[in-house]
């Protein structure tokens, strides 16, 4: 019996020893980075997007040294159900009625903010080339300044006060696009 119990003790010791081994399953993952292009209007890191686009009205534009200074009054150009609800809340249309031309401008504060404008900013204006023909036309910040101060000879399809879209990089306007507003 002593031999049998000794043999049993050896078997138990071998089983326990084999169960306490250092067998490990190691999984190695290799990630291959694909190039990713992030639009400049998307957030990068912890802050807001570096570049943003806003709708509003140019209150003034003047040259100041090597750049221009714009006073810009931001507004909201709404469409769809958002426009209908906002217009009804403001009493511009009856509740449940659609806004004309499916858009509505909300400019609650009329506060203008000061932005630098790069002299080479991209400017696109709605120019009439003949009584029946008009369209988006590249222009310059210098010509935009003349339009704002009333000295331009260009025949705009509609007045600039219908609104513009500005692309802003931190505090500098990089593009101005004249908005068609039926």
pLDDT at 48: 74
Strands 172-178 and 113-130: parallel
Write the DSSP symbol of residue 152. Answer: -
Cα–Cα dist 115/130, whole Å: 34
CA 125 vs. chain centroid, Å, equals 21
Query: Does the pTM exceed 0.85?
Result: no
Give pLDDT tens digits for 25-66: 554 544 344 544 445 556 667 777 778 999 999 999 999 999
Stretch 122-147: mean pLDDT, rounded? Answer: 92
**Six token digits for residue 93:** 């249309």
The residue among 75, 43, 63 whose CA lies nearest residue 148 is: 63
Of 29-43, 78-92, 131-145, the poorest mean pLDDT is in 29-43
Residues 176 and 121: their CA atoms lie apart, in Å, by: 7
Q: What is the pLDDT of residue 38?
A: 47
The pLDDT mean for the chain works out to 83
Mean pLDDT for the stretch of residues 140-169: 94
Measured CA angle at 173 (ends 159, 63), to 5 deg = 75
pLDDT at 164: 97
Q: Are 75 and 64 in contact (CB under 8 A)?
A: no
Using CA atoms, how far apart are residues 109 and 17, in angstroms rounded to an integer? 79
Model confidence at 153: pLDDT above 60: yes
Residue 92 scores a pLDDT above 90: yes
Place of tokens 């200074």: 69
């Amino acid at each position: 019996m002593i031999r049998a119990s000794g043999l049993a003790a050896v078997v138990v010791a071998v089983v326990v020893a084999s169960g306490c081994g250092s067998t490990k399953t190691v999984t190695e993952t290799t990630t291959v980075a694909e190039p990713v292009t992030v639009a400049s209007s998307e957030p990068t890191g912890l802050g807001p997007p570096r570049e943003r686009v806003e709708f509003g009205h140019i209150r003034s534009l003047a040259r100041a040294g090597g750049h221009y200074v714009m006073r810009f009054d931001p507004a909201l150009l709404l469409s769809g159900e958002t426009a209908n609800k906002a217009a009804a809340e403001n009493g511009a249309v009856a509740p449940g009625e659609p806004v004309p031309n499916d858009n509505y401008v909300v400019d609650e504060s009329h506060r203008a903010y000061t932005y630098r404008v790069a002299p080479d900013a991209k400017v696109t204006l709605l120019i009439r080339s003949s009584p029946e023909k008009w369209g988006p036309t590249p222009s310059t910040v210098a010509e935009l300044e003349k339009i704002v101060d009333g000295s331009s000879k260009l025949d705009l399809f509609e007045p600039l006060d219908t609104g513009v879209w500005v692309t802003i990089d931190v505090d500098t306007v990089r593009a101005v696009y004249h908005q068609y507003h039926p």
